Chain A
C-alpha cells in the first residue's frame, strides 16, 4: 500500500501549513468574523422574528463554510506544485498518481478538518451548545467526509486550470453561489420557491442540513437523505479528482 509514501506527502502538507503563519491566521480569521458579525449582528433580528437563537443556527453553516473555502482553495497547492516544479519531482517517482493525490489530498483534508474543529471550539467559547452531544461523533464524521469531498473537488479543479487567476475566478464563480444557496446563513423553510429549488440541487445544502441536524436537531430534508447525498457527492468528487489528476502532463 506504500503507506510511508502517503504519510510523507501528508506530512509535507502539514509542515507547509504550520510554517505559514499568514495562512493559519487568514483561514481562521474569516469564519470568526462571520460568527461575530452575523451571529451577534443579526442575532436579535432573528430572535425577534421568532426563529430562536441565531448563533446556534449559524454555527453548523459557518463550520461548513470554513471547510468549503479551506478545502477547495487547497487546490491552489496543486497549482503551485505545477507552476513551481515540485509536481514534476513527484510525477517522475516510481509511485502511482493515485497515491500522490491521496497523500497530498489527505493533507489538505486534515488542514480543513482542523480549521473546522477550531471554529467549533471558538463557537463554544462564544456560547454555542449542541442540543445533544451524543450526535457529535456523527457531526465530526460528516465534517471529515466534507473535507475529503471538497479537497478532492479543489484538486480536480486545479488539475484542469493552468493559472492562479483562472483558478481563483472559477472558484469564486462556483464557491460563492454554492455557499449562499446552501442555507448556511438563513433557513430554507420560508425562502422563495426559486431559491428553494436552487438550494435543493446544491449538494452543500445537504451538508449544512446534516450538520445542523447533528448539532441542533433541526433538519429540512431529513438525515438519511442528507447522508445519501453527501456520500454520492463524495464519490463524484473523488472520481473527478483522480480522473483529472491522472491526466496532468507536467
Chain B
C-alpha cells in the first residue's frame, strides 16, 4: 500500500441551504479496505454518489485512480465497480442478461465477455441460475449478482454502499469473505459504508467516521478507541456521533437523503 487511489480534498455538497457534506478530506491507499461509518443522513451515500460521478460536488476536488472525477469522468468510471445501497438490477431480465448489458456498457471485448461472465457467476455461485429472471432471486442472490457485475470490467476500486443491509448472517459472512479474498488476491481497493460496526471492525483496515457532513475521526479501530478513550469501536463511535436517533428526510429532488433531524430519543 502506497499511493492514494481515492483522494477527497475539502469536498462540499449543498442542496439549497442544506449542507449535506461540509468540506471533507480523506484519502484511501491502493489495495486498502476502507470503511465509511456514520449515522443516517451523515453524508455517506452523498459522498459515494460524488465519488462515483452521480453527483457533482459543490466545491472541492475528488480523484479516483488519478482521474479528476469531475473532468475525467470516463476514466474515473472505468476504474470502479459499485454495489449500490438499493439493488440496481433489471428485474425483468435474467441474471446473464444483466451481466451482458454491463459487459457491453463497459466496452469489454466481445471475445472476452462470455468467459468473464461465466467465471464471475461461478465465483458467486450463481452460474446454475444464470437464466433465471432476477425478480425470482432472493436478496442475498441479488447482492452476489451485483458484486459479480461490479467486478466484470476488472475495476481497481470497488464501492459497496451498505452492501449487507437486509441480508441474513450467512449471506453477510459469505459476502465479506469474498470481498476480503478479492482484496487479497487482486489487490482491489474496497471502499464501503455500513451501519454494522462489527463488520467495519472485522473487515476494514481503516475507518472514517462521518457525522453531520464532516469527518470526525479516521484511523484503525484501535486508534479510534484510543482517540476517544474508549474500549471498543462501538463506544468510540457513540462518543463521536452521540446517542440521539437520527431521522432522514428527503429534501432534494433526486431522492437523496440530505437532512437529519433529531427525535430526542436516547439509545438504551
The stretch of B51-59, B225-233, B240-248 that contacts the partner chain: B51-59
A92:B92 contact, CB within 8 angstroms: no
Cα-based distance from A242 to B84 in the complex (angstroms)? 25
Number of A-B contacts (CB under 8 A): 79
The verdict on A165 contacting chain B, using a C-beta distance below 8 Å, is no
B88:A88 contact, CB within 8 angstroms: yes
In the complex, chain B residues 146-196 whose Cβ is within 8 Å of any chain A Cβ: 149
Secondary structure at the A interface, as helix, strand, loop or mixed, is helix
- B97 shortest CB reach to chain A, Å: 7
- A1-40 to B contact mask, C-beta < 8 Å, 1/0: 0101100110010011001100000000000000000000
A85:B88 contact, CB within 8 angstroms: yes
- B58 shortest CB reach to chain A, Å: 12
- B5 shortest CB reach to chain A, Å: 17
Residue among A9, A87, A92 with the highest chain B CB neighbour number at 10 A: A92
In the complex, chain A residues 109-125 whose Cβ is within 8 Å of any chain B Cβ: none
A94:B106 contact, CB within 8 angstroms: yes
Contacts of B55 in A (CB 8 A): 249
Which listed residue (B90, B91, B106) contacts A93, Cβ 8 A?
Answer: B106
The stretch of B74-82, B120-128, B213-221 that contacts the partner chain: B74-82
Total chain B interface residues with beta-carbon distance under 8 A: 36
In the complex, chain A residues 67-92 whose Cβ is within 8 Å of any chain B Cβ: 82-92
B78:A94 contact, CB within 8 angstroms: yes
A85:B105 contact, CB within 8 angstroms: no
B89:A92 contact, CB within 8 angstroms: no
Task: Across the interface, name the chain B residue whose C-beta is closest to A16.
Answer: B92
With A4-B104, A92-B82 already in contact, the answer to whether A86 and B88 are too (CB < 8 A) is yes
The verdict on A95 contacting chain B, using a C-beta distance below 8 Å, is yes
Contacts of B80 in A (CB 8 A): 92
Cα-based distance from A248 to B101 in the complex (angstroms)? 21
Which listed residue (B56, B92, B149) contacts A20, Cβ 8 A?
Answer: B92
Cα-based distance from A83 to B253 in the complex (angstroms)? 12
Cα-based distance from A162 to B253 in the complex (angstroms)? 7
Cα-based distance from A59 to B41 in the complex (angstroms)? 55
- A161 shortest CB reach to chain B, Å: 9
The verdict on A250 contacting chain B, using a C-beta distance below 8 Å, is yes
The verdict on B16 contacting chain A, using a C-beta distance below 8 Å, is no
The verdict on B202 contacting chain A, using a C-beta distance below 8 Å, is no
Cα-based distance from A17 to B207 in the complex (angstroms)? 45
The verdict on B86 contacting chain A, using a C-beta distance below 8 Å, is yes
Which listed residue (A2, A4, A5, A92) contacts B52, Cβ 8 A?
Answer: A92
Known: A82-B255, A86-B88. 11 other contacts (CB 8 A): A15-B97, A16-B92, A85-B86, A86-B90, A90-B105, A91-B54, A92-B52, A93-B105, A94-B107, A248-B254, A249-B55
Q: Which 8 A-B pairs have the closest CB atoms?
A: A85-B88, A93-B105, A249-B254, A94-B77, A8-B104, A89-B88, A94-B74, A250-B54
